[in-house]
Amino acid sequence: MSKLNLKKIPSRANVQELRSILKSHAANLQSLRKSLTDAREIAQKRAMEEVSKITMTAQERQTFAKRKADTLVAAQRAAAKETAERLAKDLATARNVLELGKGVYDNPFSALDAATLGSPRRATYTQNLASAGPVALKNAAERAASLGDAELAAAVIAVVSGMPTDKRPFHPAAVLDIFPEEHEVFAPMVEFEEAEAALADGLSLYGEVVNGTTNPTARIERALRDREAAAGAEGGEE
């Protein structure tokens, strides 16, 4: 993992990099967990094949094979733990970096604000709507939604949010309720969510590899995410 600045809010490129790294680490840890699940059966089979070539009684063969299998499994578990511990260092760094991104990438208001902040069009819209009435603001919100105009949507939210609560013609969240969810402006938020999900997968799988225990809730969440991802991939091929 590249050395990201732990004191600075991550850029979108940082989040994308983390998402890629975390997905890769989660896949590696998933592979390690599966290898450990199958380790005993594979080691026992391999041990029996080796001792079958040695002249000894059936009891001796079983005892020797068990010892051989125990040695193989122990070695594999030690190697898997060493690899998992190495990946865990990246998971810890990623968790710290993603914490800095909360409030910027973890909700649609922040995503919209960050994407349009400093935009001259947003500033012009805000200035023009500053003295607008309820009907004009409603029309502006609907126009922003129909055109997918992020700057206009952000301007409406800014103006309405700046009004006294009892004077607002509608709640600022209503603007996002009708704004297209699939708009590019929300892509960084989706990427951040995917990075957080990959981190959660990595952490739970790390625990399973190192401790040999399974978190049922985490496994269900991983399965659901995998199913959603598979469904999304199938839909995209059509």
pLDDT tens sequence across 53-101: 777 788 887 888 888 888 888 999 899 999 999 999 999 999 999 999 9
pTM of the model: 0.75
**Chain-centroid distance, C-alpha 221:** 12
* Residue found under tokens 């012009």: 124
Mean pLDDT of 20-37: 93
Q: What is the DSSP letter of 165?
A: G
Alpha-carbon gap, residue 44 to 153, rounded angstroms: 64
Mean pLDDT of 201-226: 78
Q: Over the stretch 113-164, which tens digit does the pLDDT of each residue have?
A: 989 999 999 999 999 999 999 999 999 999 999 999 999 999 999 999 999 9
Alpha-carbon gap, residue 80 to 215, rounded angstroms: 18
Alpha-carbon gap, residue 65 to 59, rounded angstroms: 10
- pLDDT score of 219: 67
- pLDDT score of 181: 92
Is the pLDDT higher at 69 or at 231? 69
Burial class (CB in 10 A: 0-12, 13-18, 19+), 231: exposed
- pLDDT score of 39: 86
Q: Over the stretch 155-212, which tens digit does the pLDDT of each residue have?
A: 999 999 999 999 999 999 999 999 999 999 999 999 999 999 999 999 999 999 998 7
- pLDDT score of 165: 95
Instruction: Tell me the average pLDDT of the chain.
Output: 88
- From the list 228, 7, 9, 201, the residue with the least C-alpha distance to 105 is 9
- pLDDT score of 81: 93
Domain boundaries, the chain: 12-101+187-232, 108-181
Angle, CA 40 vertex, CA 37 and CA 43 arms, to 5°: 125
Cβ-Cβ contacts under 8 Å for 112 (sequence gap 6 or more): 150, 153, 154, 157, 176, 179, 185, 186
pLDDT over 90 at 236, yes or no? no
- pLDDT score of 61: 77
CB 185 within 8 A of CB 167: no
Q: Where are the alpha helices (DSSP H) in the chain?
A: 12-51, 58-101, 108-116, 120-129, 134-147, 150-161, 173-178, 187-211, 216-237
Q: What percent of the chain has pLDDT over 70?
A: 86
pLDDT over 70 at 108, yes or no? yes
Confidence class for position 41, pLDDT limits 50, 70, 90: confident
Alpha-carbon gap, residue 6 to 9, rounded angstroms: 8
CB 36 within 8 A of CB 209: yes
- pLDDT score of 88: 93
Coil, helix or strand at residue 170: coil
Q: How far is CA 72 from CA 68, 148, 197, in A?
A: 6, 60, 34
Q: What percent of the chain has pLDDT over 90?
A: 61
